[in-house]
Structure 1
């Protein structure tokens, strides 16, 4: 073999060695490690997002203006109960509930019977006498097509309209307020109901 041929063969051999040394290896171990870390982070973020979303159980927090009252007593009593709110959001009440299966009453109701209906998961919509006819008709239409609701005038109401569920209340100026529907969706037989599944008819059907 000539000298030039030997030199050429040596150069090729050195080139192969250099290529072997400089060729990048795929870091599979590192890729696997960071992939696992990324998946854990995604799961953690997703869980935190789900936990932070308002659920039906805390629907009050997503409806502006809702007043919440906790620790309400639930004893059955006879006679008149002195409530600390108008309309009351709960408390001791009459053993007989007010029928609340989409009922519209044209006279004021006894608080004690209405509160019992709240305990069963009803929403009590009350209005101050003198509410414009169009607004009253709108409320009647909502109640008549929504089970576990009832409507009545409330002469001492300090707002045109009040929506009351057990431990929750929203007072409004106008029946067209979008919060009416949101309140009904959140609290008709909602998670605040002390006695889920209890009847809303078959009891008191008169004011």
Structure 2
């Protein structure tokens, strides 16, 4: 038996966005009627209040910007809704669809829609990273070609983050204050926002085919 092994990369780089998801994203974005939308995906306890404070800072400069917040666990939907109201921000829920036109924050209190919601956004923050949870998959927003931010705690996806960092496809921020600074800057500079988003997508495309390589390697050794 051969003992030769090929380096195949990470199968998680194969992120495919279906046409159904693409059309649903475009439809949602149009219905939101906002000049700018940013999303905080897969947030955990201890992050939401920080992200809402960041959004207040964004609104001070870009008042019609919408934040879509997507808690990782459904049992936290109510507590996140409470935090939005305590922060003095107006809330709309995806489950009801009411009040979106005037809301500061759109709470995604539905399941299985994160990929579609990333596609309706101009920039993304990936949660589980301002706390020591280890982060979540940054390739989902990167595959949409939008700027991607994470906090410093990304050890669960270390290899993937390293590839993105190597090619400037993701930005790690120390805290929500630093996140707000970058969001405000990119909302002011469309060209820079698109350039950074293009770099994120380029990393995903460069690493595509990892799954095919794994399959080829298995076939070769059988």
Max Rg structure: 1
Bigger fraction of residues in helix:
2
TM-score relative to the length of structure 2:
0.27
TM-score relative to the length of structure 1:
0.28
